[in-house]
Amino acid sequence: MKNKIKYSDEPMGDVQVVADFLPSPDELAFREDTVKVTIGLSRASVDFFKHEAAKHHVSYQRMIRRLLDAYATRHTG
């Protein structure tokens, strides 16, 4: 650090307490209930998801799973 922080003993003014909005560690460690399936997909579809997943630094399988989850949620009930 180039500039040193200078602290002073002055009033801070109006302070507002903010409610804790961060999820608990238990919520962050949540694991979805998944089922292993074997499915045949076209090469074009797999290549598309692999390309997009690489751009966004995520698993292509996760992208496909989220797409299917969104479709199922949209068309349920």
User: What's the pLDDT score for residue 20?
Assistant: 84
User: What's the pLDDT score for residue 1?
Assistant: 58
What is the mean predicted confidence (pLDDT) over 4-16? 86
Most confident of 11-15, 27-31, 47-51, 70-74: 47-51
Q: Exposed e or buried b for every residue in 18-33, given b needs 16+ CB within 10 A?
A: eeeeeeeeeeeeeeee
Distance CA 59, CA 49 (A): 9
- Answer whether residue 37 shows pLDDT above 90: yes
User: What's the pLDDT score for residue 24?
Assistant: 77
What residue segments make up the domains of the chain, in order of their start? 43-77
- For residue 34, what are the contacts with CB-CB under 8 A and spacing of at least 6? 65
pTM for this prediction: 0.59
What is the mean predicted confidence (pLDDT) over 55-71? 92
CB atoms within 10 A of CB 63: 16
